[in-house]
Structures are given as C-alpha cells and as structure tokens.
Amino acid sequence: MRPPDPDALARWLAAERDDRDAAAEGALAELFAALPLAAPPAGFADRVMARVSLPLAAPARASRRDVFAWRPLRAVLALCVLATGLGALWLPPALRAVAGLWSVSGAIEGGTRLLIGGAGWLAALLRTWDFLLTLERALTQPLAAPQVTALLLGALLASSLAFRFLRDQITGERWTHVDPI
C-alpha cells in the first residue's frame, strides 16, 4: 500500500466527465492501489477456531454416536463375514445340484402346467361372471315392468312417512334419568 494521491479522485472524475477513457482507467487504478489490503490480522483464524471449538469430551460423545464403535455390533459383523465366507465354499456344489434339476423338457413341462393352470383360473372367472349376469337379468327383468316400479315407489313413500312420524314421536318423548340440579 502506498500513500494515496489527493488529486487522484479529482483526476479520475475529470477524466470520466471529459470521456478520456485511458486517463480515467489510470486514475482509477491509482485509487485502487492506494486502498488498504483486506487481510485479517495475524492469528485471526487461530482465535476463531479456539473460540468455536468443542470441549475435550466431544470425541467421547462422537464414539457413542458411532454405531460401528459398539463391540457387540462388531462381533455380529465379524460373524456375518465368516458365514458369507463359508457360504461361498458351499455355493458351487449347490449350484451344480440345482443346475442338474433344470432341463429343456422340465422348462417345457413347467410352462405347460402354468398355461393349463391359467386356463383353469380363467374358466372359473368366466363361470362366475356368467352367474352374475344371470342373477342381474333375474333382478332387472321384473323391475322393468311399470307395475313393479310403481309398487316399489309406493313402498318407499310409505317407509319414508313412517320414518318421519317415528322420528317425531321419539324426539317428542325424551326422558331424563337424572333430575337437574
């Protein structure tokens, strides 16, 4: 940092006013060179870290939160790794035994059984659908007659009136089992 020239600001403003770009750039660069550097004082980062650091008991708390620091879990994981290693030894003979069961004729037989089973389920579903359609026809044919529709509407009107009178009767005769205080 060098001491600022008191006329640098005036020269820069005059150059800008007169549209002298090169002179304005030079005066502005001189103004910026005179500004102090924005650097923190020595030891600033150390003081900040000392102020915000956690107490010494923090590593003990961190180990309690660490799941893998728990000894029983470490033992279980070790046993799992051991079981996986032993399982890898038994895997090739098991695959050879299973591969011996698979064949082209077995795959065709399984596909045929699957197709026959699916056809049986479809037939049962269609029989149920046919029964439901027959039931629907048996219920809708009588309702299509005007006499039956009129009879049903009369029964609906009678039941609605009966419900209305019964509700009025019940709400008019409310009992109190406890005397008011």
Average pLDDT of span 132-140: 93
Which domain covers residue 24, as residue numbers?
8-65
Per-residue pLDDT tens digits for 95-120: 877 777 777 888 888 899 999 999 99
SS3 180: coil
Average pLDDT of span 54-82: 75
Angstrom distance (rounded) from CA 28 to CA 15 = 10
Is the per-residue pLDDT at 160 higher than 80?
Answer: yes
Note the pLDDT of residue 121. Answer: 96
Does 71 map to a domain?
no
Whether the CB-CB separation of 12 and 28 falls below 8 Å is answered with yes
Domain final residue, candidates 65, 87, 114: 65
Pick 73 or 59 by higher pLDDT.
Answer: 73
Note the pLDDT of residue 178. Answer: 63
pTM above 0.95, yes or no: no
Angstrom distance (rounded) from CA 59 to CA 44 = 25
Does 95 map to a domain?
no
Does 117 map to a domain?
no
Does 87 map to a domain?
no
Token output for 110: 């399984």
